[in-house]
Amino acid sequence: MDYVPVIRRAQEGDDRAARQLFDDFQLRTYRLALGLLGDTADAEEVAQDALTYALLNIHRYNPELSSFSTWLHTITVSRARDKRRRKILPSISLAQWLGLGNQIRDHAPGPEAHYMHREMESRLFLALDQLSPKLREAVVLRFYADCTYKEMGEIMGCSLNTARSRLRLAIEKLRANLGDETVRWLVTETIR
């Protein structure tokens, strides 16, 4: 969908357009925040803050400089960093949450595969949890939000080359954290 007319209306003060943007972007903002933070309560708070800030400052958004998604991702990443800094005690992590298996759709054909699937995803997110926040941002932005390196640089506030380096380093660490067996399983599962 082309959001440019909706954004323009919101910038002119049309609150229904703002409502439409809020509705259309709330899930993807929440999911991005969840990927960045790995904690559902924190992700809700960050997504709410990011959307509220973005819409109340929509007049600052310049469509000639970046896409609305990129702008919103930038705010979300910034809010997630703030949240991480302020956080004292972790609540349920995404890895734990995946391990508990609540609210996740069942993609696997049988109970055993289902269990393995969850197990491997849990390991993936445990490995993600072990990355530094900036490396995790690089992984989530590249592999979940499908950002280009240029967009990653804009969102993370670094150069294009730094964004590349972070992703490369993140992959190396992920590979090391996951271990050969998990990597093989993940690869096989993806191919299958």
List of residues contacting other proteins (CB under 8 A): 10-16, 18-19, 22-23, 26-27, 29-32, 34-35, 40, 43-44, 47-48, 51-52, 55-60, 94, 98, 103-105, 107, 120-121, 124-125, 139-140, 143-144, 149, 164, 167-168, 171-172, 174-175, 183, 186-187, 189-191
Comparison of 71 and 149: residue with beta carbon closer to other proteins: 149
Compute the least distance from the CB of residue 130 to other proteins, in Å.
Answer: 14
Q: In this structure, which amino acid lies at residue 63? A: P
Compute the least distance from the CB of residue 190 to other proteins, in Å.
Answer: 4
Q: Are 45 and 39 in contact (CB under 8 A)?
A: no
Paired residues of 93 in beta bridges: 39
Chain length of the chain? 192
Q: What is the rounded radius of gyration, in angstroms, for the C-alpha atoms of the chain?
A: 18
Structure tokens at 39: 């904690």
Comparison of 139 and 156: residue with beta carbon closer to other proteins: 139
Residue whose token pair is 């910034």? 78
- For 93, the 3-state DSSP assignment is strand
Compute the least distance from the CB of residue 76 to other proteins, in Å.
Answer: 12
Compute the least distance from the CB of residue 35 to other proteins, in Å.
Answer: 5
Q: Are 98 and 121 in contact (CB under 8 A)?
A: yes
- For 39, the 3-state DSSP assignment is strand
Comparison of 87 and 143: residue with beta carbon closer to other proteins: 143
Comparison of 39 and 154: residue with beta carbon closer to other proteins: 39
Compute the least distance from the CB of residue 157 to other proteins, in Å.
Answer: 20
| CA dihedral angle for residue 104, residue 107, residue 109, residue 110, rounded to 10 degrees | -20
Paired residues of 39 in beta bridges: 93
Comparison of 40 and 69: residue with beta carbon closer to other proteins: 40
